[in-house]
Amino acid sequence: MIRAILQRAPKKIILRRQYLKISGISVAGSLSGCLDIIQNRDTGVDITVINRTDAKQNVEIIVESDGESVFGQDFELSAPQEGSVTSITEEDALNPGEYSVTASNEAIEQEYRYKNTCSSVSEMEDEIYITMRGKDMIEISSTYCGK
């Protein structure tokens, strides 16, 4: 493209600034779509439920935004084999935002305030973790990218 422009130009000396201007426009045009791909990467929030006990666990997860339910599901996690864990992940279950996450079973209810912080960090995914640590212990946490 630059060569074609230069060939069409009158036979006079092209100054360094002009050459850089022409080549800069070409480079900017060729990269314009790349930034769009990075900015529009998948930014959904995953929900992962983990069983760290030695028994089958059932847990109900309810996620609300401004008092309105945006996600609700019952999970049944099998008993993990010795030395491992059982987990289920719902990918892109939520859009980035602020939520109230409630996890409950027949013995306990745990609530957690969630705010996504990783949607602008390309190496990290926003994820909410609900970990069953016993019949009466549920731990809720999330990724944190420092914002």
- Per-residue pLDDT tens over the stretch 12-68: 444 555 555 555 555 444 444 444 333 444 568 999 999 999 899 999 999 999 999
* pLDDT value at 5 more than 50: no
63-69 contact pairs (CB < 8 A, 24+): 63/93, 63/94, 63/99, 63/100, 63/101, 63/102, 63/114, 64/99, 64/100, 64/102, 65/97, 65/98, 65/99, 65/100
For 146, half-sphere exposure in the C-beta direction (CA atoms, 13 angstrom radius) is 2
Where does the chain hold its CATH 2.60.40 domain(s)?
45-142
The pLDDT value given to residue 34: 45
Whose tokens are 């209810």? That residue is 109
CA distance 67 to 73: 17
**Per-position b or e across 68-102, b if 16+ CB within 10 A of its CB:** eeebeeebebeebeeeeebbbebeebbeeeebbbb
**pLDDT, tens only, 85-137:** 889 999 999 988 899 999 999 999 999 999 888 776 766 788 999 999 988 99
pLDDT score, position 21: 59
pLDDT of residue 42: 53
Does residue 74 register a pLDDT over 90?
Answer: yes
Q: What is the CATH number of domain 45-142?
A: 2.60.40
CB atoms within 10 A of CB 9: 11
Question: pTM for the complete prediction?
Answer: 0.67
